[in-house]
Structure 1
Amino acid sequence: MSQKNSDGKRSARERLQEQRRQEEARGKVKRQLLVGGAVLGVLVIGGGIALWATTAAKHGKQQASGPLMAPQGAMGKDNLVIPVGTTPAKATLTVYEDFRCPGCGQFENGFRDTIHSLEGKGELKAEYHLVTLIDKNLGGTGSLNAANAAACAQDAGKFAEYHDLLYKNQPMETDDAFGKKSRLLDLSGQVAGLKTPAFEKCVNDGTHDSWVKKSQEAFGSSSYRATPTILLNGKSLYGDQNNPLTPDKLRKLVAEAQKG
């Protein structure tokens, strides 16, 4: 082989090696750019999530810590109780309930006439604590919105009528129909004199939302764990399946309270 051919082949090999080194260098740069871009993308996405979570947390905190507007006539600790009935009555029915709770609906629809009859005779007064347990367990806002609307009805002196109407039209537990304020306003038209501009504004603005949330916090901090929780003069009535409460039994217990 001539020196000239040998030099040509060596030069070709060198050029090929140089070309491979350049391609490897370009590939390395490309991989670095891809990795850097991916990391940057993760950081941007992560930053967006962190910002959203922070913003959402701040927004939630602002909502929860907003001005607490108790409805007119509310009483008890922190004004969390809505009273119904004659104040001097010797028997007090304490009710913790959620407008989405099917057990609460069963209680209200089964005992409504008895309770109102005893209230009408001045023998019983009721104290309602409105909570949002189903919203917490299943999601949605129906418990909150319905409780706020009931508090708005209390402002208008129509709590009992609207409270009863909501339970008569209670949706399935998994159906967050009361999450739609338009539904709550439509129902209010069935209560004479309730659907006024003031009531509509109270419902749409969530005027008593913070009050409802405070009521739920108090319930969560109590020893009670389910709705409905029903007490007569502080004694639980509704949780014993072996000795269930009936309308006749409630009348008897109220009569005994009148004597004692």
Structure 2
Amino acid sequence: MRPRPSASLSPGVNHNHDGQDRDRTNSARERLQAQRTKDRTRARRIRQAVVGGAVVAALAVAGGVAVWVSSGGGSGSTGDTAFALPKKASDGDKPAVPVGTAGAPSTLVVWEDFRCPACQQFETGFRPVIHQLQDSGQLKTEYHLATLIDGNAGGTGSLNAANAALCAQDAGKFREYHDVLYSHQPPEQQDRFSDKKYLIQLAGKVDGLVSDAFTTCVRTGRFDGFVRKSNQAFAQGGFRGTPTVILNGKDLAQVQGGQVTPAELKKLVLAANKGKKAPVQG
């Protein structure tokens, strides 16, 4: 919301101190103009990205198109520094959390940010289908965590929430806690995920997750290095928005103009898996 003009812009200025009043008026006008310019620039950047197709993931979710535009940034990078690795998570240049059976014939790669509104919309709309395909052995998912909104809007919520999700992975509860975070995502400008006590509180919604080990992991940011490495991989990968969703190597933003529904995602997976045997679920 744009700020209201300062009182010094109103009629009835005391002309006994013309120089000081003019200075205050000019200063207020300059601040107001700067804010308006900032608002227009942000709005124009988003419109251009949407119209020009620069957003990597613009997926149709429940009749609407989810879009979040990134202008880069993040919570820093690790370079070649070693980092702690959660149980069963993948190492390397693009660290990720796997969900589903390793032998599933199709793979969905998701780059996401827990503060990202479009990621929340994607997860809410596609979650039932993704869970169904994972549980039936048709699909495995690789989640890569980014911190774009921390870099663009400030704060540490993307980083802290991602670390907490990795603490849940270490406890074997990533998918459940991942879904809880998106179900309780605060508004984009409210960096509530920066509050580690709140993240621990949300963990109480996942049976068996809260423990001394989990709480210590969240409070100390044990997997911050993993998150930073993942965000670095996102930045170097040339992606320009979250969520970025890739099925069997194909960016879904390039399929049907990005207008992929949950039902169509299921059809794409089943078509790709035709003739392939899904692993038996234990």
Q: TM-score range by the shorter chain?
A: 0.7 to 0.9
Would the alpha carbon gap of residues 62 and 107 (structure 1) be closer, same or farther in structure 2, given more than 3 Å must change? closer
Cα pair 2:108 2:140 within 8 Å, conserved: yes
Q: How does 1:1-260 map to 2 (within 5 A)?
A: 67-75=82-90, 77-78=92-93, 80-238=95-253, 242-259=257-274
Distance 2:164 2:225 in 1: 13
| Gap runs ≥5 in structure 2 | 1-74, 276-282
- What is the identity, as a one-letter code, of the residue corresponding to 1:206? G
- What is the identity, as a one-letter code, of the residue corresponding to 1:146? A
Would the alpha carbon gap of residues 181 and 72 (structure 1) be closer, same or farther in structure 2, given more than 3 Å must change? same
- What is the identity, as a one-letter code, of the residue corresponding to 1:189? G
- Give the secondary-structure state (helix, strand or coil) at the position aligned to 1:134: helix
- Give the secondary-structure state (helix, strand or coil) at the position aligned to 1:193: coil
| Gap runs ≥5 in structure 1 | 1-59
Distance 1:85 1:209 in 2: 24
- What is the identity, as a one-letter code, of the residue corresponding to 1:102? P
- What is the identity, as a one-letter code, of the residue corresponding to 2:212? P
Cα pair 1:229 1:239 within 8 Å, conserved: no
Count how many residue pairs are aligned between Structure 1 and Structure 2.
201
Distance 1:229 1:61 in 2: 20
- What is the identity, as a one-letter code, of the residue corresponding to 2:263? D
- Give the secondary-structure state (helix, strand or coil) at the position aligned to 2:190: coil
Cα pair 1:64 1:210 within 8 Å, conserved: no
Structure 1 stretch 81-90 or stretch 153-162: which is displaced more?
A: 81-90
Structure 1 stretch 74-83 or stretch 211-220: which is displaced more?
A: 74-83
Deviation at 1:201, TM superposition (A): 0.2
Deviation at 1:78, TM superposition (A): 4.0
Distance 2:224 2:250 in 1: 29
Cα pair 1:99 1:147 within 8 Å, conserved: yes
Distance 1:72 1:215 in 2: 16
Where does residue 11 of structure 2 map in the other structure? none
- What is the identity, as a one-letter code, of the residue corresponding to 1:159? F
TM-score for the superposition, normalised by structure 1: 0.73
- Give the secondary-structure state (helix, strand or coil) at the position aligned to 1:71: coil
Give identity over the alignment, percent. Answer: 53
Would the alpha carbon gap of residues 101 and 232 (structure 1) be closer, same or farther in structure 2, given more than 3 Å must change? same
Q: Answer 1 or 2: which has greater helix percent.
A: 1
Higher relative contact order (CA 8 A, sep 6+): 2
Distance 1:105 1:215 in 2: 19
1:31-58 CA-to-partner distances (Å, cap 9, x unmatched) read xxxxxxxxxxxxxxxxxxxxxxxxxxxx
Larger Rg over CA atoms: 1
- Give the secondary-structure state (helix, strand or coil) at the position aligned to 2:206: coil
- What is the identity, as a one-letter code, of the residue corresponding to 2:191? D
Cα pair 1:89 1:125 within 8 Å, conserved: yes
Would the alpha carbon gap of residues 198 and 165 (structure 1) be closer, same or farther in structure 2, given more than 3 Å must change? same
- Give the secondary-structure state (helix, strand or coil) at the position aligned to 2:142: strand
- What is the identity, as a one-letter code, of the residue corresponding to 2:175? A
- Give the secondary-structure state (helix, strand or coil) at the position aligned to 2:176: helix
Deviation at 1:245, TM superposition (A): 1.0
Distance 1:91 1:110 in 2: 20
1:134-179 CA-to-partner distances (Å, cap 9, x unmatched) read 0000000000000000000000000000000000000111110000
